[in-house]
C-alpha cells in the first residue's frame, strides 16, 4: 500500500503530502527551502535512530565500567565520553520523535527513552570526570563523582526499559520505517 507522508517547510511551515515509499527531496513552492519529513513517519524514524544510538551508548557504558575495574582510567574515559555523545544523540532523536508523534503510545515510548537516556548521559559524564580525578590522585573528588553517577544510574533504572522499535510497532500497529 502506498502511504502518504507529510513534509514541512523549515522556512514558512507549508506542508506537502507525498505518496510513495521513497523519500524524495521536497522543495517548498513558496520559499524554495527544503521541506523535511514530519508527522508519524518522522517520529518513527527518529525513534528507530534514537534507539540504535541508545543501544550503542549502553554497550560503550558497560565496556567502560569494566575498564574501570581493570584500572585503565584513560581508556575508560574515552569509553565514557563516546557513550555520553551517543546518549546525547539519542536524546535528540527521542525529542524529535516526541515532538512529531501523533500517537499516544509512540509519544510515551519516546518520552521514556528521552528521560532514561538523559539520566545515562549525565551518569557517563560524571564517570568520565571520575576517571580523570582518579588519574590526578584526587580520591575524594573521584568518589563524589562516582556517587553522583550512581544516583543517575539509579534514576535511569526507575524508568524501566526503553522499548525496541519492534515493541513500538506491536504497541502502535504502525508500520516501521525502513532505515534510511
Ligand atoms: Zn516554505
Domain assignment of residue 178, yes or no: no
pLDDT tens-digit map of 48-86: 999 999 999 999 999 999 999 999 999 999 999 999 999
Quick one: pLDDT at residue 20? 78
* Angstrom distance (rounded) from CA 110 to CA 92: 11
Domain assignment of residue 78, yes or no: yes
> Across the beta sheet with 26-27, what order do the strands follow?
15-19, 4-9, 34-38, 26-27
Domain assignment of residue 15, yes or no: yes
CATH number assigned to the domain comprising residue 14: 2.20.28
Least confident of 21-25, 51-55, 132-136, 174-178: 174-178
* Angstrom distance (rounded) from CA 3 to CA 20: 6
This prediction's pTM: 0.85
> Does 28 share its domain with 82?
no
> Does 61 share its domain with 85?
yes
Ligand 1 centroid to residue 174 C-alpha, Å: 29
Ligand 1 centroid to residue 101 C-alpha, Å: 22
Domain assignment of residue 177, yes or no: no
pLDDT tens-digit map of 27-40: 999 999 999 888 88
> Does 26 share its domain with 49?
no
Are the beta carbons of 168 and 47 closer than 8 angstroms? yes
> Does 61 share its domain with 27?
no
> Does 63 share its domain with 151?
yes
Ligand 1 centroid to residue 10 C-alpha, Å: 7
Indicate if the pLDDT at residue 180 is higher than 70.
Answer: no
Q: How far is CA 94 from CA 12, 28, 34, 127, 160, in A?
A: 24, 26, 23, 23, 16
Domain assignment of residue 180, yes or no: no
Runs of H (alpha helix) within the chain: 39-69, 73-100, 104-135, 139-158, 165-172
Q: Which range marks the domain in which residue 86 is found?
A: 43-172
Domain assignment of residue 179, yes or no: no
Counting Cα atoms < 13 Å in the Cβ hemisphere of 23 gives: 13
What value does the mean pLDDT of the chain take?
92
Look at the chain and report how many structural domains it folds into: 2
Ligand 1 centroid to residue 26 C-alpha, Å: 10
Ligand 1 centroid to residue 33 C-alpha, Å: 6
Amino acid at each position: 500500500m502506498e502511504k502518504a507522508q507529510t513534509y514541512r517547510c523549515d522556512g514558512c511551515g507549508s506542508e506537502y503530502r507525498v505518496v510513495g515509499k521513497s523519500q524524495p527531496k521536497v522543495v517548498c513552492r513558496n520559499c524554495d527551502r527544503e521541506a523535511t519529513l514530519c508527522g508519524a513517519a518522522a517520529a518513527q524514524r527518529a525513534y528507530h535512530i534514537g534507539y540504535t544510538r541508545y543501544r550503542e551508548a549502553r554497550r560503550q557504558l558497560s565496556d567502560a565500567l569494566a575498564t574501570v575495574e581493570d584500572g585503565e582510567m584513560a581508556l575508560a574515559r574515552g569509553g565514557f565520553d563516546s557513550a555520553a555523545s551517543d546518549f546525547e544523540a539519542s536524546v535528540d532523536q527521542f525529542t524529535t520523535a516526541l515532538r512529531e508523534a501523533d500517537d499516544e503510545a509512540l509519544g510515551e515510548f519516546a518520552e521514556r527513552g528521552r528521560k532514561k537516556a538523559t539520566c545515562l548521559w549525565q551518569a557517563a559524564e560524571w564517570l568520565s570526570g571520575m576517571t580523570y580525578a582518579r588519574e590526578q590522585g584526587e580520591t575524594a573528588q573521584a568518589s563524589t563523582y562516582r556517587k553522583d553517577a550512581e544516583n543517575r544510574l539509579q534514576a535511569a533504572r526507575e524508568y524501566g526499559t526503553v522499548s525496541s522499535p519492534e515493541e513500538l510497532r506491536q504497541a502502535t500497529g504502525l508500520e516501521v520505517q525502513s532505515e534510511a
